[in-house]
Structure 1
Amino acid sequence: MRGEVRRKGFWHEPDALPTSKAIALQTWAPVTIEVLLEREGRKITATDLATEVQSRSGVSTSHPPTSWVPDLLVVVDHLRTLEGEPSLSGLVGAPPPPPRATRSSGGGRAASPRVSAPRAPAKSDRPVSTCPRCFMALPATGICDTCD
């Protein structure tokens, strides 16, 4: 780890030239298709796919696979649909969920997750009426201060 620079975002290897997520996805899509077709129908985890695609393409990221592999699979399936080919996203399994910590309640039972009832939106979250001419928010009077 000594002397190694920790990069963030998306970049081209080996010169660390920064790039965007969109360009990374565009670069990774054909590589992903290649990797999945080589597997001849065998499943692969999202983490293993991410590692292989970054290694082959020369574009890397510091973001976890769970934040970009689903987007990549959407692009891959879109390209496959345009080519009249079947989807490949079914070959990619989600990484196993991290183990959940259980809280001991004295009876040896795992704590059940709390589910809250749906709430009504706050007044501040409700849509605002806007003027049809200037698109400014209307005051409570309903008459636009700018236009009228």
Structure 2
Amino acid sequence: MDITPETSPLIDRLQGEEYDVTEPLPGVLHVRGRFSNPERIALRAAADAGDLAVAVWATSHHDDWALVAWSRPDLVTITQKGATPQRWRHRTLPATLRPDAQTFLEGASSPFDIVTRPKHQPTQAARDLLERFGIADAPPPGWVPPVVEAPVVRESTVAAAKPKRVAAPRAPKAPAKPAKPEPVVAVCPTCFMAIPATGICDNCG
């Protein structure tokens, strides 16, 4: 591994923290270790470089990574966690701020951000800065994107409930027919015999 004299003190400092450090390109470091926030590691390394233009990859033991490219006043940060899309952020820092300012370590937005539409997309100036370091692609050397498996669709073992049978409404019963009145038989008041249809009693005339 070739180490440039300018980055040698920075590499010694990072290795003192038990990180694995390489220099794949002149002025470009790759830091690996057991840390959960690679962006913080890369930002702190860039700040420790002082006024030296440097780019730092940091790759965590979970294979998440961040790339910080620093050349005052430009600070470019690219992060990727798992299979999520890359998040680019380009800031122009005043002379009073370092890359490890607390607001940057927290990943928060700041008045120094160059806002893109849509958000977190690379500016041309950010790409130009990476090219100055000889970086053609943002991911660290040897990094392989995680394979995202499609969710397995399993058939349900619960039998579908049978729909309840709904009885058809019954037709209303027809009203009962009224009973026929019994015929009234006329009776002769004298002999109490039935009077024929002529209305004249056969016995009494």
- Normalising TM by the smaller chain, what interval? under 0.3
Q: Which structure's relative contact order is higher, taking Cα pairs within 8 Å and 6+ residues apart?
A: 1
Q: TM-score, normalised by structure 2?
A: 0.20
Where is the helix percentage greater, Structure 1 or Structure 2? 1
Where is the strand percentage greater, Structure 1 or Structure 2? 2
For the pair shown, the structure with the greater C-alpha radius of gyration is 2
